[in-house]
């Protein structure tokens, strides 16, 4: 059975290679704005991930397990997605400075033959140190905040902001290896 990753994220591709080299990439162009947030963050990230996997379901030719993912940063009841520009990135990092926030990822897998869908959300708490304006501006100007939920990547220079985490490190990167591995096994894929 084929495994299809419905993501163009190089980080997710690199992490999936730690589980298996035998997968293809078919990036979803699902419109994330079509899913409204109604206060249940776990459900929200799973709906986003399912939307991405469903987008690819109709494009696969062979029997496949399609993996859809979405990751967001959550701070005091507010979702911090990908910054729209550098000003937004600076604002997000200032909001996160010195605080504990949560990183939620939704993972959805669909079996194209049976249409079986399983979803799981994963949450990791992240504590940021107090960030100086200089640290924030230097990071944002480096381009490392571009395209990242919460305007940072724990796997790059954003690691310097992180005082501690509680939960799965790879979830903060955007792809909980343990969860993906266990869900693949639940789908009958023994790697």
Q: Which one from 42, 70, 133, 156 is the annotated catalytic residue?
A: 70
Strand 64-75, strand 24-25: pairing = unpaired
Q: How far apart are CA 147 and CA 84, in angstroms?
A: 8
Q: Return the exposure string of 22-58: e unless at least 16 CB atoms fall within 10 Å of the residue's CB, then b.
A: ebeebebebeeeebeeeeebeebbbbbbbbbbbbbbe
Q: How far apart are CA 162 and CA 14, in angstroms?
A: 22
Residues 26, 6 contacting (CB under 8 angstroms): yes
Cα separations in angstroms, 15 against 59, 169, 173: 23, 12, 9
Is 70 in the active site? yes
CA 39 from chain centre, in angstroms, equals: 19
Residues annotated catalytic, as ranges: 70
């Amino acid at each position: 059975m084929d495994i299809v990753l419905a993501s163009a994220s190089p980080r997710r591709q690199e992490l999936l290679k730690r589980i298996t080299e035998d997968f293809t990439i078919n990036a979803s162009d699902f419109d994330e704005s079509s899913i409204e947030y109604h206060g249940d963050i776990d459900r929200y990230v799973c709906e986003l991930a399912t939307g991405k996997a469903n987008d690819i379901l109709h494009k696969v030719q062979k029997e496949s397990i399609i993996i859809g993912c979405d990751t967001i940063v959550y701070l005091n009841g507010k979702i911090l997605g990908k910054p729209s520009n550098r000003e937004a990135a600076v604002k997000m990092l200032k909001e996160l400075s010195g605080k504990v926030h949560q990183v939620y990822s939704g993972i959805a897998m669909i079996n194209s033959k049976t249409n079986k869908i399983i979803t799981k959300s994963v949450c990791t708490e992240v504590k940021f140190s107090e960030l100086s304006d200089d640290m924030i501006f230097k990071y944002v100007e480096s381009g490392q905040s571009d395209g990242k939920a919460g305007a940072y990547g724990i796997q790059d220079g954003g690691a310097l902001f992180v005082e501690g985490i509680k939960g799965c490190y790879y979830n903060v990167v955007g792809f909980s290896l343990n969860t993906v591995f266990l869900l693949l096994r639940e789908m009958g894929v023994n790697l």
